[in-house]
Chain A
């Protein structure tokens, strides 16, 4: 099998996977925060917030990620005028465009992934024994205190493993950023296949290996984390 393309300076395999990693890390952080907020809203005493969060989750989860990412560029950025990078006059706007598309992709991933984080955490809230919340209320804690101090910490510890699955799904989902021209691993594979079609098995194995290298350790780490974090009852 011919892996000569690996040393071809035209194809920056490591660089492409570095973009994949960056997309994943930023999206994961954002999605976790937004997911917790959505989960809190879904169980809060204000009916309007509950309805809103439920609606957002049910709508966003059911749209293909491809469509969400393309809409980030075409609707949110182009029509609504969201600018996530500054375009300096007189400077080559390519850097602006690349940053803008990267950040739009991250925003799209955050919105999409946060709905899955929200559902995971909500199921975690269900595993916390009602007595915990009742005890917390009995000592006079308010809703935000009950949730923030007592319930959510236990809920999140209970769903470390599912959150790991969400993260692995996110790693794989970053390939959709190729739809708006972010030069990550899938776009590189497409270029490679156009120019080196005869080596398609080698190309596939390299890209597949890259994702396995990213996904497997994530799975193992979250597996052991889940054991450590689980609440003994």
Chain B
């Protein structure tokens, strides 16, 4: 009955093609979409895409919301599992280690917060949150919260909620050790500045200090650092605490200029309008600062790079 098998394969292919192309709008009542609705409570309020599908889903989620509370992070915490976005590529703050573990100050904060939310830190699933993708990850409900050197800005507040700040960094410049003419952001006129795709720090320098600066973007900071070491770019910019980690990776070759010229309030990003979740995380941050774990975590993670541990911020917002 060979030919019947072939015929059924072809028929199956047709069904598969329709399902995969996703053109059939009748895909809503599937099991997976119900599951995702349960996971992303209150999603429709912030969803960038207003659609029939998500409208149908929001009806399902608001029905569920009554039972589990109106907060994605709290309902995930109730379920005993959290998905947290961190950076994988920033020494001292968030790195994926060769043994598959995660370390850095952001990771410590994420674990502490999870603990206070009643979730065992070993139950956290860490996912990579690149600068360019952070709002998307939160908006699309892929993560419960993000601890990834995430500066609180008004523009971002329109898309996500922030708890914190849990740390105040200052934007700075990383240059070669023998460089003498780059003394601050104003000196960047006519120079090439490197930053990662989706970061706003390079644009800040262009807008506020040196309109004549040229911007080169690479996927990661270590690409920038390599370009800096080779002389293809003149400076790398981002927050001092991040730069300190890279300077420590290349002792004697790189230095942080040390003229911090902005206050970057690192916050924990979570779903827009999730007030209950924001309040709970704020409480956790305050507790971390109060009981000394905050300072200890900093000393353990960014301390070795020679970065001076600043005073703790006051979480509010």
Q: Which residues of A contact B (CB under 8 A)?
A: 70, 74, 77-79, 81, 89-94, 96-97, 181, 197-198, 200
Contacts and interface: CB of A to CB of B under 8 A. Distances in A.
Given A78-B232, A198-B49, A97 B192 contact: yes
Given A181-B216, A197-B49, A91 B232 contact: no
A92 B48 CA distance: 37
A198 B232 CA distance: 39
Contacts of A81: 230
B212 A197 contact: no
Given A79-B230, A97-B214, A97-B216, A91 B192 contact: no
A181 B233 CA distance: 15
Contact of A78 (B197, B219, B230): B230
A77 B213 CA distance: 20
Interface string B167-196: 000000000000000000000001110000
Interface of B: 48-50, 190-192, 197, 212-219, 223, 226-227, 230, 232
Given A77-B232, A181-B217, A90 B48 contact: no
Contacts of B218: 74
Contacts of A93: 190-192, 213-214
B190 A94 contact: no
Contacts of B230: 78-79, 81
Given A77-B232, A93-B214, 16 more contacts: A70-B219, A78-B227, A79-B226, A81-B230, A89-B190, A91-B190, A92-B212, A93-B192, A93-B213, A94-B213, A94-B215, A97-B192, A97-B214, A97-B215, A198-B49, A200-B49
A135 B201 CA distance: 69
Contacts of A92: 190, 212-214
A198 B51 CA distance: 9
Nearest to B211: A92
A197 B192 contact: no
A91 B214 CA distance: 10
A79 B226 CA distance: 9
A81 B217 CA distance: 18
Contacts of B50: 198
B223 A74 contact: yes
Top 3 nearest A-B pairs (CB, nearest first) are: A78-B232, A93-B214, A94-B214
14 contacts: A74-B218, A74-B223, A74-B227, A77-B232, A78-B227, A90-B190, A91-B190, A93-B213, A96-B214, A97-B192, A97-B214, A181-B216, A181-B217, A197-B48
A175 to B, nearest CB: 16
Contacts of A78: 226-227, 230, 232
Specify which of B48, B197, B223, B232 lies most central, judged by the most chain A CB atoms within 10 Å of its CB: B232
